[in-house]
Structures are given as C-alpha cells and as structure tokens.
Structure 1
Amino acid sequence: MLRWWLTLLLVNAALIATALPRLGVAAMPWLALEGLILVGALSLWPSRRLTRRSLAYGSAALIVLALACALGDAITQEIQGRPLNLYLDPSQVPILLELLRDNLSLPVSIALVIATLLALLVIGLGLGHLLASLPRHGAPRRCAWGTLVFGVGLALLGLWRDTTTFGTPGITLLTDQATRAYETRASLRDFDARLAARESPLDAPDGQPLPGLAETDVILAFVESYGMAALEREPFAEPVNARLDAMAKAFAQAGLSVASSRIASPTLGGQSRLAHASVLSGLWVSSPLRYTRLLESPRATLIDDFERTGQTSVAMMPAIYRDWPAGRRLGYDEIHDDARLDYRGPRLGWVTIPDQFVWHRLRQVRREHRDPLFAELALISSHAPWVPVLEPLPWDELDNGEAFARWEGEGSNFLELWGDNAGMRQRYGPALAYSLAVAGEYAERYVDDETLLILLGDHQAAPGMLGVTPNKEVPIHVISGDPALISPLLEHGFQRGMQPGHDTPARSMAELRGLLHTLYGGSDT
C-alpha cells in the first residue's frame, strides 16, 4: 500500500514540476490529472508482464521528456523571454554548450551536463520501476479505481479548468510543443515563399541602388544588448539617459544632426545575427532556421544595395574568431574579424576587443579606401556580464590596443560574475554608457556631411537580468553632418535628438531596408 501511494506522489510531483517555469501558468496545480489516470490505469492493467512494463517505462520516458522540455523552457525564457520551441531550439544546443564552456570552464560544463543527464535518467528509471511494480490486489486496487474514475471524470467534464487545484501540466506542455512545432513549420513555409517572391524591387537578387546615399559613408553600428529597457528601467536608466543627453549636446556643438526612434528586434537576450539579418535583408528573420534559409537563398541585402550604389562593404566583427561562412555568403568586400582587427591589448572577459578600438580600426580602414564605405559593426563592450566597465581613452593613445592593459585580468571569473545578478544589474547601465560614449566621440570626430551613422541596439538584455519580461524594442539613432540626410526621417516617425519618442509605433527591423529605399532610393517599397 505504501509503495502505491509513494508512486502516485512521485509521479504527481514530477508532472507538477513541468508547470513551474512555463509562461502563462497562473498557479501551480496540486494534482496532475494525467498522473492520477496513469497510476490508476497501470494498477488495474492485466498481468501481462511485458506489456505492463513497456507501458510503465514508456510513460516514465514521456514524463522525463516533459521535464527536459520544462528545463529547456526555463532556460529559454531566462535568456530570450520566449517559450522553448522543439522545432527550432535543438539546433542551438551546441551553441549553449559552447557558452557554458566559455563561461564556466570545460570541466565544470561537462560535470553540469553529465549531472543533468544522470538526474533525468535516474528519474526515468525510478519512475519506470515504480510504475511497473505497482501492486494490483487488495486496498491499492480500490484506490486505483477511485483515482482512475476521479481523474477521468474531471478530465471529461472539464471541471478542472475552473480551479487551480487540478491540472494537466505534462500533457499541456507536450501538446503546446507539438502545436508550436506545427505553427513554426507553417510559418517557415510562408518565409520560404517570401524568399522566392519577386513582389518588389527589393526582392531582386542583385540589389537596388540608393542614389540618395551615393558618395556617402554609411555606418550601420549595432550596440550589444542596447534595448529600450535601458532607457526606461532603474538602475540602468540614469547613466544611459545621462549619456544620451550628453551626446545630444555634443552633437549640437559639433554641428551634427540626429534623429531617433524605436525599432523592434526579432530576438531578445541573444542571437544578434537574427537582428543583423533582418535589417540587411528586409525580412523578419526571427529564428536560426529562417537565418539559414536566408543564407541559402539568392536574396539581395543592403550589402548588395550599397555595392550597387558605389560603396565598398566592410564588416567589423570583433566577436568573430572562427571561419565565418555566413559573411562570405553575404558578400562583404572585406571582413575585419578578431584576427584581422589586429588587436594587441588584453582580452577583457567577454569584451575580447573594446568598442573604442573597433571604431579606431574603422577610421584606419576608411583611410585605406578612396570609395565611400558601407560598414557594418557588431560592437561587444556592452555584452553581459558587463565586466569590466571601461572608460574612453584618448584616441591618439589607442595604437594597437596595448593602452587597454589597465583593465587586464578583469572580467575573467565568469562563474562568479554570472551568478551575481544584482551586480550585473548595476554594471549594465554604465557598460552601455561606455559603448554609447565612444560611439558618440567617434561621431564628433569623424562624422561629417558625407557620412550617415545608424546606431541601434541589436536586442534587449536577457529577461532574467532585466526583471519583468521586456518587449523587443531597441533605440535607433541616425546621425549626420548633413541636415538634408536627417530631415526625411523626421517625416517618418523619428524625433529630433537622441531620445526615442513614444508617439508612434515601433517599426520592425525588417522595415528598415525598405525605409532607406523610400527615403534615399526613390523607391516606394
């Protein structure tokens, strides 16, 4: 009798645990109806040993699958603010393992992964054994009938939906995953159709020129983790808004015009490449599968558009330290990755190459070309865990980066840093303020009437650090020494100055390419 009740209790606990991290769960149920039905049914199952054992271990495997999905769901929500998607996310496991290795060291990462797998295996085998050996006679039989009738009755009548006491957390989780996978597949088919479409000039495989930006340097600079929450929530808002106000004053003194707005990123907390691809392609690249489909297609991007306009395309990618096939497919004329940036200073944790040095190298690259540039920058000084928080250095001291030696050794204790959520919240604002400061100093020095600088965030920071799950909006600032390049933006929802307005809806990043063509290409796309 004790074993029967112990089995029911453990099965119920395992199923209830699948509801803990899920979005939309108002309250954790006390009883999982599928657990009552499962234990009751197996207790009354005929004594065909092989069939009963198969059902028991098969049921335990489904429970473990639900627990694994719940764990993945919790991690995905913490990092990206969305539910797990089994159609998309398994392909991201190698990236997750690499992040664990880089942040926790290889031995700790291996131990953590092995411990997690062993825990799931032990739970599965333990539940399978208990379910397979349920007693079938005496008092447990009467309990089995009672739980089976009770569970099936509530499930059929739907009465459990009116209370938080009962629920079907395991079945609900697996059903949601199946539904999400089906919807994702359908969405991917629509995306494939959009890739193949030829509905507008932007769908042409060879790109469309932007004559309004001919003979103009166009810089598209993504600031890591720069989201609207940094301007709106404490303790980040004070240092970030103070920096934006200082930049606005400095730009006015330097004779620069600036317009700002909000733009919606396809991602949250990570996967910056989706934001880059959405801006470049003019499509909503919201998943790694869509990103792969884009790379496999002949669709043109802003890179092609600007090359047809006469610019040399340059990618400044300090975080790329391996072979980058996507860069070759996108067709940059030059890729300045970790090695080619030739940074000789210290590696500062996640900030392998400080933003100011990347801007410094961009200026040097500009001097090497007679033609105007289209430069895309992926800046990383504001990458979590936001250590060390740097300060701008005199530009004439940057040279090969050795001047950053004063911060050498900081930011290397990843295990301690990632475990300090309160510390990350305190550092996030100042780290962003640094990234904005050096971008602003570059603009003051080098942006003129033949330059258009588009400075924008790639995504919000991870929801687990921000607190309440944020939306996906990021600031975008467009800066130039030529007021005529900025004035069209003011007629399309942008506000003068460095503060993004809230009077108009945020565009999606997928709309930015079309907007540039509308304003500078003579196109109505």
Structure 2
Amino acid sequence: MRRWWLTLLLVNVTLIATALPRTGVTAMPWLAVDGLMLIAALSLWPGHRHARRGLGYAAGALIAIVVLGTVGNTVTQEIRGRLFNPYLDPAQLPIFLELLRDNLGLATSLVLVAVAIVGLLAIGGGLGHLLATLPRPRRPSARLTLVGVLVVSAGLVLLGPTRHTTWLGTPGVGLLADQVTRAYATHAAVRDFDAQLTRSETPLDAPEGHPLPGLAGRDVILAFVESYGMAALERAPFAAPVNQRLDTMAETFERAGLSVASGRLVSPTLGGQSRLAHASVLSGLWIDSTLRYDLLLESPRATLVDDFERSGHTSVAMMPAIYRDWPAGRRLGYDTIHDDPRLDYRGPRLGWVTIPDQFVWHRLRQLRDAHAEPVFAELALISSHAPWTPVIEPLPWDAIGDGEGFSRWEDAGSDFLEKWGDNAGMRQRYGPSLAYSLAVAAEYAVHDVDADSLLILLGDHQAAPGMLGFTPDREVPVHVVSGDPDLIAPFLEHGFVRGTQPLRDTPARSMADLRDLLHRLYGGDAS
C-alpha cells in the first residue's frame, strides 16, 4: 500500500502543479480526480504483467505531455498573451531556440534546453515506473474499494461537477481536452483560410495586384515601429514620455506645414512575430499564425507591393533585423531589399537592436535621392525592441555617415542579455526607447515628407504581456503624415482624427483592412 499511496501523492502533486498557471494559488485544487482514476484503473488492470507495464509507462509519458503543455501555455501566455496551440506553435520551436541562443548565448541556451529535456524525461520515466509497477490488490475488499474509487472518479471526470468545486479538479484531462479542441478548431480555420486564398471575388484578390492611381507619382512609406502599442500611450510609467513625444510631434508637424491624422489598428499578434502584422497589412488578410503566413506566401495572392508596382512605384524593403536569406521578401516581390548586410552599417552594434532607427531613415533618404521614380518603402524599425537597451538620442543627420556617428554608444547595450529578466528596468526603458523611435521618424518627416509623399507610421504589436503587466488588447496606433492636406482628409472620414493622439473610445480597425482602405481612398474602391 505504501507504493500505491506514494504513486498517488506524486501523480496528484504533478497534475495539480499543471493547474497552477491557469487557476492561481487561491483556486488551485488539492485533489486531481483524473490522477486518482488513472491509478485505480491501472491497479485493477487484469492484463498480462508486460501489458500493465506498458500502460504504466504510457500513462507516465502522457503526464509528461501534460506538463509540457503547461509549460507551453505559460511561455506563450507570457510572450504572446494566449495559450499554446499544438496545431501552430510546434513550428515555432526552431525560431524560439534561435531567439534563446541570440538572447542568452549558446552555452546558457544548451543548458536550459538540456535541463528541460532531462526534467521531462525524469517526470515521465519516474511516474511511468511507479505506475507500471503498481501492486494489484489481493484482498476482495481492496479491489472493491478501488472499483468504487474508479467509478466515482470517472463519473466526476465525465459529468464535470469538478468545474464547480474548488478543491477537486481534472487538470490533466482538462488541459488535453483544451489542446485537442484548440487544434481541431485551428485546423478548420486554416482550411477555410486556404479556401479564401484561392477565391477571386474582388479586384484585390487578383494575383497581378490593383493600382492606386490616387497615389501615383507620390512616395509612400509604410513604417512599422517595433512594440508600439496603445498601452504605451495609456499605462505608467511609459505613457508619460511617449505622450510627450507625440504632442511634440504634433507641434513640429504643424510648424513644418505637415498634416497628420491618427487612428488605431488591431494587430494579429502580441509581443512578437512582427511579420504577421506586416503580412496582414500588405495582403489585406488576417494573418494571425505562422501557418497562415506560410499559406499566404505559397499562394498567388497580390499584396500592396504589387499594387504600388502597378502604380509606377519602385518597391523597397528596409529590414535591419534580417541578416540571413529572406525567401519571403523574394516572394513578395520587392524590387530591392535592404537587409542588415545591404544597409552597409559600419557603426557599433547597439546590443540586440544592432542598427538604430535613425540610420535606417538615413539610408532611406539616400535611396529616395537615387531614384527618379516614386518609391513604395516598407520599413521594420527595431530601436524600440525589447529589452530596450541602450536608449540613445537622435544625432545631427550630417553626423551619421555610414554609422560611425553612433560610436559614442559603443558597448552601451552589450549587457542586453542581463536585461531580459529585469521587468522593472525594461518598464522604465520602454517609454524612452519608443520616444526615440518616434523622434527620429518625426525628424525624417519634417525634412523629407512633402506634398508628394505619404508616410504611414504604425506599431506592429503591443509589447509582451509579461512586461506590460496584465494582458493588453492588440491595438496599436497609426499616424498618416503628408505635406498635402488633401491626402490626409479622406482618413478623417474613416475614423481617424487630426493630430498624433488617436481616439480611445471608437472601434479600432483591423490591420487587414488597411489595404482595402487605401484602395477606397486612392484606388477608386477596388473592393
């Protein structure tokens, strides 16, 4: 009986621990009914000894999977503000491991991965061994008791009264059921999305793209500011420096004769995966997963890149965070791609960010001067990327050179690996970091945005929930700037307001609607 009670204790503690991230300490059950049912069933199993051992180890492996699912839920909730999705997220493992290596170093990453693997094997193997070697009760009264336990616990699991009882729970069954349901629903949603990609119901679905005659002959810049979410305008301590910068921008634009309007967009992602936001804006489709992103790239679906090229624009991608081959960029069809190597930055690498925003704007200015035809440029700006170190200041534009002007901050961000776990420090640096990104964007606009250009400056997603505190929504600001007030006026008729401060009490527009909106305003309503 000692082994039986020891097995029950360890299985119960393990399963209860998996419920902790979902229910919290105060609501955590102290008896896992599904674990009790499992132990009773294996104790009564009448089969051959080898069959019972196999079932025991299989049950241990299943408990390890529940633990792995709990870890997945915790990590994705902290980073993405949602639960782990077994249909989508396993494909993200290589990217997650790469980020782990880049942020913590290879040695530390290998140790963490090894500890995680050994821990899971220990849980699965240890509990599997205990379950596989459970003694079968000899006395009829003991067997009858176990039958009663099995029937009662099975009834509790199947009928669901544990949902209304705080001290009883079914954490293992509940997690597995949630994951299976989520995976099935995601599969159905992806199937519908795949069918949507093959339909051709509007001109925007055409694989050759649809022109934007209202923007022909004008430069259009689509600039994504990393981690620029509405929480940055609304929550302390970062709201103060960000709102101060936005108010200064509005005054600066007015003095420079620039018109600006602002609104809010709902991003498909939270805390990361910026490419999903970029793809949603470019395609006019809701791209909220890597799988949808891949399906888009495999489809003939046109994007804003095609639309502007049909309008006579040279298409340019400015991607300072991309330092490897980028097949997605080739598929999207940019005329030129200025990634990390092609930006030819010769200044110091500023921690994780590597290339400051002002240098990217500097290169864009040089590129526009070199092209006689209008340019459609998409920028992925990264100075405001976590862990927000170092926070630098704008330079005089003639002091930038090929990046040598940033030498004063050399090694200032070299400790960025230590900063990732310091949430309090990141909260203090987040606002000033965004203020810098907005400041250099505004300076570029004042000097280079005129009546023949349109700047669309927007956030890609909110910062990670683990840093912001309680889980935010997915809304991000968007600002449109031009020297021609007639280019900005149509936005005011579609929910935008004058100035740099978006309204907070109106419905936000989906990022996937921005392409259609541009066509409504400048393309003769292609939808």
Interval of TM-score (by shorter of Structure 1 and Structure 2): over 0.9
Aligned to 1:449: 451
Match of 1:494 in 2: 496
Counterparts of 2:501 and 2:270, CA distance in 1: 21
Match of 1:205 among 195, 204, 207: 207
Q: Which amino acid aligns with 1:91?
A: A
1:24 deviates by 9.9
Which residue identity is paired with 2:29?
Answer: P
Q: Which residue is equivalent to 1:186?
A: 188
Greater displacement, 237-246 / 189-198:
189-198
Which consecutive unaligned segments of at least 5 residues does structure 1 have?
A: none
Corresponding position: 1:298 with 2:300:
yes
Report the AA paired with residue 204 of structure 1.
A
How many angstroms apart in 2 are the aligned matches of 1:479 and 1:195? 32
Whether contact under 8 Å (1:281, 1:299) holds in the other structure is yes
Tell me the distance in 2 between the aligned counterparts of 1:300 and 1:119: 47
Matches within 5 A, 1:22-421: 22=22, 27-46=27-46, 48-137=48-137, 141=143, 144-145=146-147, 147-421=149-423
1:502 CA displacement: 2.3
Letter in 2 for 1:281: S
Match of 1:422 among 410, 424, 427: 424
Which amino acid is the alignment partner of residue 105 of structure 1? G
- Residue by residue over 1:226-282, the C-alpha shift from the partner in whole angstroms, topping out at 9 and shown as x without a partner, is 000000111110000000000000000000000000000000000000000000000
Q: Which amino acid aligns with 1:94?
A: P
In structure 2, the partner of 1:465 is 467
Aligned to 1:304, what secondary structure does the other structure show? helix
Amino acid at match of 2:123: I
Question: Given the alignment of the two structures, is residue 3 of structure 1 paired with residue 15 of structure 2, yes or no?
Answer: no
Shift of 1:44: 1.9
Amino acid at match of 2:84: L
Opposite residue 299 of structure 1, the aligned amino acid is R
**Residue type of the alignment partner of 2:130:** L
Are 2:206 and 2:301, in contact at CA under 8 Å, matched by a contact in 1? yes
Mapped to 2, the partners of 1:327 and 1:159 lie a distance apart of 53
Q: For 1:407 and 1:268, how far apart are their aligned partners in 2?
A: 30
Amino acid at match of 1:263: L
Deviation of 1:157 after TM superposition, in Å, equals 4.6
Equivalent residue of 1:117, what SS? helix
- Whichever residue aligns with residue 519 of structure 1, its letter is L
The answer to whether the Cα contact below 8 Å between 1:4 and 1:140 also exists between their aligned partners in 2 is no
SS in structure 1 of the partner of residue 188 of structure 2: helix
For residues 276-308 of structure 1, the C-alpha deviation after alignment (integer angstroms, 9 at most, x for no partner) is 000000000110011111111111100010011
What's the secondary structure of 1:22's corresponding residue?
helix
Q: Residue type of the partner of 1:460? A: Q
Check whether the contact 1:258–1:486 (CA below 8 A) recurs between aligned residues. Answer: yes
Distance 2:158 2:180 in 1: 22
Q: d(CA) in 2 for partners of 1:344 and 1:509?
A: 35
User: What letter is aligned with 1:278?
Assistant: S
> Which amino acid in structure 2 is aligned with residue 100 of structure 1?
L
CA distance in 2 between partners of 1:432 and 1:461 (Å)? 11
- The residue identity in structure 2 corresponding to 1:418 is W
- Alpha-carbon displacement from aligned partner over 1:16-66 (angstroms, at most 9, x marks no partner): 122222389982221111101011111222262111101111111111011
For normalisation by structure 1, the TM-score amounts to: 0.98
Q: Aligned with 1:478: secondary structure? A: strand
Residue 73 of structure 2 aligns to a residue whose secondary structure is helix
Answer yes or no: is the 8 Å Cα contact 1:39–1:144 preserved in 2: no
Structure 2 segments unaligned to the other structure (5+ residues): none
SS of the residue corresponding to residue 475 of structure 1 reads strand
Q: Please list the CA deviations of residues 336-386 of structure 1 after superposition, one character each: whole Å capped at 9, or x if unmatched.
A: 111111100011111110000000000000000000100000000000000
8 A contact 1:356–1:438 mirrored in 2: yes
- Tell me the amino acid that sits aligned with residue 259 of structure 2: S
Task: With the length of structure 2 as denominator, give the TM-score of the two structures.
Answer: 0.97
2:20 aligned partner, one-letter code = L
1:204 Cα shift? Answer: 0.6
Query: What secondary structure sits across from 1:322 in the alignment?
Result: coil
The answer to whether structure 1 residue 519 and structure 2 residue 521 are counterparts is yes
Counterpart-to-counterpart distance in 2, 1:454 and 1:247: 14
Q: Are the equivalent residues in 2 in contact too, given 1:22–1:83 (CA < 8 A)?
A: no
